[in-house]
Amino acid sequence: MSVDILYKQIAAFYRSLADENRLSILMNLSAGAKTVSEIVEQTGLSQPLVSHHLKELKNGLIVRTERKSSFVFYELTEPSIVELLRLTNQLVVELSEKSRSVFTSGEMPALPFPMMMKKMSKIMNQALKEKQK
């Protein structure tokens, strides 16, 4: 596969995550499958807006749907996506502390990073075993 196409795909994936409201929705789904109504209620967003963002996430292969009677349940296609979010969270905190330290210069906060990575690796492996069944 050409590198350009790969960049395009990765960019598209990041674009799916590059929205405040979609992140809110994803964190909601991290606990398990939910209906649109539940997501609307828990995020405080309007129903059409939630539907729109869910569509984006579905296009990005990040969530999938399952209809049960009159309800449509949305769930993560891959649980490890949540771990990616956590990793990113840590990285963002990291980067902002680093940039701040340019000015404060001297402090060096404790880094939960290594431990987090270990845990993440574990969860990832587990998710993949789960998948191979």
Partner DNA sequence: TTAACGCATCAATAAATATTTATGTGTTAA
Partner DNA sequence: TTAACACATAAATATTTATTGATGCGTTAA
Residues that bind DNA (CB under 7 A): 15, 18-22, 35-38, 40, 45-56, 65, 67, 69-73
Q: Which range in 32-40, 46-54, 67-75, 77-85 contacts a copy of itself by CB under 8 A?
A: 77-85
Residue 65 sits in the site that holds a copy of itself (CB under 8 A): no
Residue 49 sits in the site that holds a copy of itself (CB under 8 A): no
> Which residues are CB-neighbours of 40 under 8 A, at least 6 positions away?
46, 47, 50
Toward DNA, which CB reaches closer, 6 or 117?
6
CB of 109 to a copy of itself, least distance (A): 10
Neighbouring C-alpha atoms within 13 Å toward the C-beta of 48: 0
With CB under 5 to 8 Å by kind, the binding choice for 56 among a copy of itself, DNA, none is: DNA
| 43, 83 Cβ separation under 8 angstroms | no
With 0-12 / 13-18 / 19 or more C-beta atoms within 10 angstroms meaning exposed / middle / buried, residue 92 is exposed
Is residue 110 left, alpha or beta, with left meaning phi > 0 and alpha meaning psi from -120 to 50? beta
Residue 54 sits in the site that holds a copy of itself (CB under 8 A): no
Q: Which listed residue (29, 34, 80, 82) binds a copy of itself by CB under 8 A?
A: 80
